[in-house]
Amino acid sequence: MSNEVEEIKKRLDIVEVIGAYVPLVRGGGANMKARCPFHQEKTPSFYISKDRQMWHCFGCGEGGDVFTFVMKMDGLDFRDALHQLAEKAGVKLPEFKPEEASERRRLLDALSLSQKFFAALLAEAPQAAHAREYVKRRGLAPETVEAFGLGYAPAEWDGLMRALTKRGIKPIDIEKAGMAVRNERGGHYDRFRDRLMFPIRDVNGQVTGFTGRVLQPDAKEAKYVNTPQTAIYDKSLALYGIELARQSIRETDLAVVVEGNVDVISCHEAGFTNTVAASGTALTVEQLRLISRFTRNIAIAFDADSAGAKAARRGLDLALAEGFDVRVITLPEGAGKDPDDCIRKDPEIWRGAVAGAVHFMDYLIASLTAHQDLDDPTVKKNLGQELLSEISKLPDAILKMHWLQRVGSLLNMPETVLMEEMARSGGDKPASQYASRPVASSQSPVDGAGSTAHSPLSTIHSPAPDRDHLLARIFLAILFVKPELASSVVFDLPAETLPEGDLRGLYTAAVAGYTQTGKFLPPDFEGQVGAAASAAGALARELLLLGERDYAALPTRDAETELRSIAGSLRESWRKKRLSALLRRMTEAERANDHVLVRSIEQEVREIMLPPQ
Ligand SMILES: [Zn+2]
């Protein structure tokens, strides 16, 4: 397998792979940085080295190669990450028997085959004529049908079951994938029958579930049937259309969120490709996290009069608390009941509605104050309470002030009174965006380290190391990126003068690597992949990226001066420690009247006291 791993690493650029998940900014040279997707931070401390094809976050200490990133980001095991990246890189993996595949892989295979089966039927099967007719009536172009992978589930009890078992898929896996239902006799039948099928795909385009729409207008069954919760489908995680919208969301720096799958398809067909749908009524934290990989701006269209409006507002509250800029799209009078309707009337109306989306607070103020007498004290009081409770949820102190001023002038009240009221009602959460985040559980305890990340002293994520540790870290970091200096400085710094432990071990290994291969790195460093990387490998990677971040641009002369000065300090510190240990032993030896030992210690002390050459 290691040949394939190497081939994948060669073909994929880590900067591109990670760039598909998080917005990147230049980090000096060929390096990039980003706000870490694994902990909350305001300033980027997540570094990617293009040369080394590695990443490291100096805020939370996570790091690795392209495999570790995908595993962590998408919650995959190594095998699944390998599959995903192999596909991306166009590397063919050796076949392995289906029963050896992980359950996740087996279910994904079952779903992928189901999608192909449904799509093939929709394309030309005689029994799907009414489905094709429906698609045509909706005005969906063949390219759209293809892009969204639409299909047709036949009006049979075992159409899919037969097709999949013929391909070697076990009935139990078809059931676990949510595509079949078990009957009382232990047999299985198709969950979806005579329906237009919308595959739901994850951000990487893998089918994780389906929505099936009924085709007979007089059918007694539910209009829509969804895949139930399975090991791989969780509707609170799914965002319909995200795999097609991600690029556009990043480019436009905006995610347009609509209610239905059909709305998404209409939007994409009309060229509004930054559109997705949440498959519930309220956006979840997980969905927001997914969107935040691409943008911090959301414009949401929801039917304010619908029963789901209250739930939708919960999602918006969450988005605000997560630090998103949230806007609300309102369709003008007579423009249709939903985006699909509106676009079919005139795409330009929809374009205008998206462009004219108002900030959620503005929307709230407008909807709460409509047809209200703002001079009526009771109205004023209720309105004030509702708006203040909303403002208190904002994560940002400046935003809070902004909206307090707005509400103040609206209600004709001094802001100070409103602030007092907000504090009194206990609604005012701490202004720190971290403290008020509802999803703080996954947060790193050293959050905010990113804000001072430019000093190497801020890169600590383990219990405060002493000065010698920090100096040794910097020494290694510089040498890793300036290996040409190794021959002249390692002589200055015997391994024993480094603090005992990982750093000394790494230094010894790197010196050994240097003598063996000419590279100042542990000899086995480059062969380490993904989760297989050892602790020493992880430390090497961290210091390598520290070097890339802070010292790669340093002129070699200055780097050498720095290395010599650090080596001097470490030697000096080592001498002092050694000396005080010897003096302690000497006192003991004198107390014991051991003159031979005293003399030998004296000799050692003299040697150490000699100034270094
Ligand atoms: Zn981090």
Return the pLDDT at 307.
57
Structure confidence by residue, pLDDT tens digits, 245-258: 988 898 888 999 99
Report CA(104)–ligand 1 centroid distance (Å).
27
Q: Which amino acid is at 431?
A: A
Report CA(54)–ligand 1 centroid distance (Å).
14
Report CA(47)–ligand 1 centroid distance (Å).
9
Q: What is the mean pLDDT of residues 479-488?
A: 87
Report CA(549)–ligand 1 centroid distance (Å).
15
Categorize the per-residue pLDDT at 575 as very low, low, confident or very high, splitting at 50, 70 and 90.
Answer: confident
Report CA(486)–ligand 1 centroid distance (Å).
31
Report CA(46)–ligand 1 centroid distance (Å).
6
Report CA(33)–ligand 1 centroid distance (Å).
11
Q: Is the pLDDT reported for residue 465 higher than 60?
A: no
Report CA(442)–ligand 1 centroid distance (Å).
11
Q: Is the pLDDT reported for residue 112 higher than 90?
A: yes
Q: Is the pLDDT reported for residue 464 higher than 60?
A: no
Helix (H, G, I), strand (E, B) or coil at 551: coil
Angle of helix 535-550 versus helix 467-481 axis, rounded to 10: 70
Report CA(402)–ligand 1 centroid distance (Å).
30
Report CA(539)–ligand 1 centroid distance (Å).
15
Report CA(318)–ligand 1 centroid distance (Å).
22
**Can you point out the beta strands (E) in 324-414?**
325-329, 358-359
Report the distance separating Cα 290 and Cα 201, nearest Å.
13
Return the pLDDT at 304.
57
Report the distance separating Cα 211 and Cα 284, nearest Å.
19
Q: What is the 3-state secondary structure (H, E, C) of 450-481?
A: HHHCCCHHHCCCCCCCCHHHHHHHHHHHHHHH
Report CA(543)–ligand 1 centroid distance (Å).
15
Report which of 192, 228, 223 is spatially closest to residue 115, judged by C-alpha positions. 192
Report CA(45)–ligand 1 centroid distance (Å).
7
Report CA(462)–ligand 1 centroid distance (Å).
14
CA 397 to chain CA centroid, Å, is 26
What are the residues facing 182 on neighbouring strands? 188
Report CA(121)–ligand 1 centroid distance (Å).
46
Report which of 177, 180, 176 is spatially closest to residue 153, judged by C-alpha positions. 180
Helix (H, G, I), strand (E, B) or coil at 275: strand
Report CA(62)–ligand 1 centroid distance (Å).
6
Strand order across the beta sheet in which 46-49 lies: 25-26, 32-34, 46-49, 54-57, 63-64
Q: Which amino acid is at 416?
A: T
The conformational region for residue 31 under phi > 0 = left, psi -120 to 50 = alpha, else beta, is: beta
322-359: buried (b, 16+ CB within 10 Å) or exposed (e) per residue? bbbbbbbbbbeeebbebbbebbeeebebbeebbeebeb
Length of the chain: 613
Return the pLDDT at 99.
58
Report the distance separating Cα 328 and Cα 326, nearest Å.
7
Structure confidence by residue, pLDDT tens digits, 367-402: 888 888 888 888 888 888 888 888 888 877 788 888
Report CA(368)–ligand 1 centroid distance (Å).
40
Report the distance separating Cα 320 and Cα 323, nearest Å.
5
Return the pLDDT at 309.
65
List all residues 6 or more positions away from 588 whose beta carbon is below 8 Å from its beta carbon.
none
Q: For the chain, give me the number of helices (H) and strands (E)?
A: 25, 17
Return the pLDDT at 534.
65
Report which of 23, 17, 27, 49 is spatially closest to residue 36, judged by C-alpha positions. 23
Report CA(23)–ligand 1 centroid distance (Å).
14
Report CA(21)–ligand 1 centroid distance (Å).
14
Q: What is the mean pLDDT of residues 221-245?
A: 89
Q: Which amino acid is at 352?
A: G
CB under 8 Å, gap of 24 or more: what pairs does 131-140 form?
A: 131/196, 131/215, 134/196, 134/215, 135/196, 138/262, 139/344, 140/265, 140/269
Q: What is the mean pLDDT of residues 455-481?
A: 69
Report CA(57)–ligand 1 centroid distance (Å).
5
Torsion angle (degrees, nearest 10) of CA 12, 14, 18, 24? -130
Report CA(559)–ligand 1 centroid distance (Å).
28
Return the pLDDT at 442.
35
Structure confidence by residue, pLDDT tens digits, 52-83: 889 999 888 888 899 999 988 877 778 888 88
Q: What is the mean pLDDT of residues 528-552?
A: 76
Q: Is the pLDDT reported for residue 524 higher than 90?
A: no
Q: Is the pLDDT reported for residue 553 higher than 60?
A: yes
Report CA(34)–ligand 1 centroid distance (Å).
10
Report CA(56)–ligand 1 centroid distance (Å).
8
Q: What is the mean pLDDT of the chain?
A: 83
Return the pLDDT at 242.
93
Backbone phi and psi for residue 337, each to the nearest 5 degrees, phi listed first: -90, -20
Report the distance separating Cα 69 and Cα 46, nearest Å.
12
557-567: buried (b, 16+ CB within 10 Å) or exposed (e) per residue? eebbebbeebb
Return the pLDDT at 526.
67
Categorize the per-residue pLDDT at 173 as very low, low, confident or very high, splitting at 50, 70 and 90.
Answer: very high
Report the distance separating Cα 214 and Cα 310, nearest Å.
28
Report CA(352)–ligand 1 centroid distance (Å).
39
Report CA(151)–ligand 1 centroid distance (Å).
41
Report which of 14, 3, 46, 40 is spatially closest to residue 27, judged by C-alpha positions. 46
Residue 189 near residue 181 (C-beta atoms within 8 A)? yes
Return the pLDDT at 393.
80
Report CA(392)–ligand 1 centroid distance (Å).
27
Return the pLDDT at 102.
79
Report CA(350)–ligand 1 centroid distance (Å).
39
Report CA(264)–ligand 1 centroid distance (Å).
33
Distances (CA, A) of 559 to 338, 371, 520, 567: 63, 70, 15, 12
CA 56 to chain CA centroid, Å, is 14
Report CA(415)–ligand 1 centroid distance (Å).
38
Report CA(29)–ligand 1 centroid distance (Å).
21
Residue 211 near residue 198 (C-beta atoms within 8 A)? yes
Structure confidence by residue, pLDDT tens digits, 286-314: 888 888 878 889 999 876 565 556 667 77
Distances (CA, A) of 141 to 136, 147, 207: 8, 10, 21
The conformational region for residue 470 under phi > 0 = left, psi -120 to 50 = alpha, else beta, is: alpha
Report CA(449)–ligand 1 centroid distance (Å).
9
Report CA(595)–ligand 1 centroid distance (Å).
58
List all residues 6 or more positions away from 584 whose beta carbon is below 8 Å from its beta carbon.
none
Report the distance separating Cα 228 and Cα 235, nearest Å.
8
Q: Which residue has the higher pLDDT, 351 or 403?
A: 351
Report the distance separating Cα 237 and Cα 202, nearest Å.
9
Q: Which residue has the higher pLDDT, 589 or 129?
A: 129
Report the distance separating Cα 585 and Cα 601, nearest Å.
8
Categorize the per-residue pLDDT at 355 as very low, low, confident or very high, splitting at 50, 70 and 90.
Answer: very high
Report CA(164)–ligand 1 centroid distance (Å).
42
Question: Is beta strand 54-57 parallel, antiparallel or unpaired with respect to 46-49?
Answer: antiparallel
Distances (CA, A) of 14 to 53, 203, 272, 491, 541: 6, 17, 29, 35, 15
Strand order across the beta sheet in which 207-214 lies: 151-153, 195-201, 207-214, 224-226
Report the distance separating Cα 559 and Cα 563, nearest Å.
6
pTM: 0.63
List all residues 6 or more positions away from 144 whose beta carbon is below 8 Å from its beta carbon.
265, 268, 269
